[in-house]
Amino acid sequence: MTDPDEFERMLHASHADTLPPPGIPPAHHPHLLPAISAVAAILGIATLLVAGLAAVLPPPPTPVAATAEPPPAAAAPPAPSAATSRPISIADLADDDWVQRTAAAGSIPPRALAAYAGAALAIRAQNPGCGLGWNTLAAIGHVESEHGTINDTALDDTGTAHPRIIGIPLDGNGVDAIADSDTGDLDGDTRWDRAVGPMQFIPTTWTVFAADGNGDGRTDPQQIDDAALSAGHYLCAATDGSLRDPQHWILAISAYNSAIDYNNRVAASASFYATLG
């Protein structure tokens, strides 16, 4: 098994001097799919190759299974009671021993991993044809915000990021120009949109795909259960095929963020996480 610390160094070293902050690539197109002929990806069968760019890109990720599935909890999560008033969250769906063991092996905060795994299990029950694996959500969470820990942020016991994770203004300066769409409600900016939360949603995308992952009756991009479940729905909607298929997987990740460097980093992370169990 690859050492987690070495994995972190490897993942960040290749692009440390060239990549913008997580979630804000040189061209951020949350709804634009690149031509599949420009990218050849067979995750789990071969390595990730980019046509015409193999000589200048970093080494492709180690081939592993594209989809990793956590075990469900031994019993269904308890219904909320008048005494606890605790809503049912997707974070309760995965086996806790698996979460703790895998989180330690992969240097993933357990609260974040429980959300990724729970979202994958929830979507598998609702949409089994999607083929979404927890490792894909974890890979995006890692690249976007280091699992909600970027810039000294942390997820509290409820899974909410403190302080809030808010990206740079999407003002056309090296990024897409996206005028304010939410009157600053999500990102605090009334002139430009900014990516928000541990999964770095643009407000316009959040409006369409926001999901209540922790059962509290609200949708909050700063809350990891909501953000992970919403990201899962977005990935499944990005292509009409199963994410177990390498071409559909690459299309879904490209829909999330079209930068080739971003796609390679997510593939490397997903490959590593799939080896953990």
pLDDT tens digits, one per residue of 99-152:
999 999 999 999 999 999 999 999 999 999 999 999 999 999 999 999 999 999
- Give the confidence band of 69 by pLDDT, cuts at 50, 70, 90: confident
Please state, in angstroms and rounded to a whole number, the distance separating the CA atoms of residues 166 and 277.
32
For the chain, the structural domain boundaries read: 4-65+91-274
154-155/161-162 β-pairing: antiparallel
Residue pair 95/71 in contact by the 8 Å Cβ criterion: yes
Between 148 and 29, name the one with better pLDDT: 148
User: Is the confidence at residue 91, as pLDDT, over 70?
Assistant: yes
Q: What is the pLDDT of residue 194?
A: 97
- Give the confidence band of 3 by pLDDT, cuts at 50, 70, 90: low
Which pLDDT tens digit goes with each residue over 157-213? Answer: 999 999 999 999 999 998 889 999 999 999 999 999 999 999 999 999 999 999 999
Q: What is the pLDDT of residue 86?
A: 59
Lookup result for tokens 């829909």: 255
Q: What is the pLDDT of residue 4?
A: 58
- Give the confidence band of 15 by pLDDT, cuts at 50, 70, 90: very low
The angle at the Cα of 272, spanning 160 to 44, to the nearest 5 degrees, equals 120
Average pLDDT, the chain: 79
Helix, strand or coil for residue 102?
helix
For range 23-33, the mean pLDDT:
35
Q: What's the predicted TM-score (pTM) here?
A: 0.76
Q: What is the pLDDT of residue 88?
A: 83
Which pLDDT tens digit goes with each residue over 167-179? Answer: 999 999 988 899 9
- Give the 3-state DSSP-derived string for 124-185, with helices as H, strands as E and coil as C: HHHCHHHCCCHHHHHHHHHHHHCCCCHHHCEECCCCEEECCCECCCCECCCCCECECCCCCC
User: Is the confidence at residue 18, as pLDDT, over 80?
Assistant: no
Please state, in angstroms and rounded to a whole number, the distance separating the CA atoms of residues 252 and 112.
21
Cα R_g (the chain), whole angstroms: 18
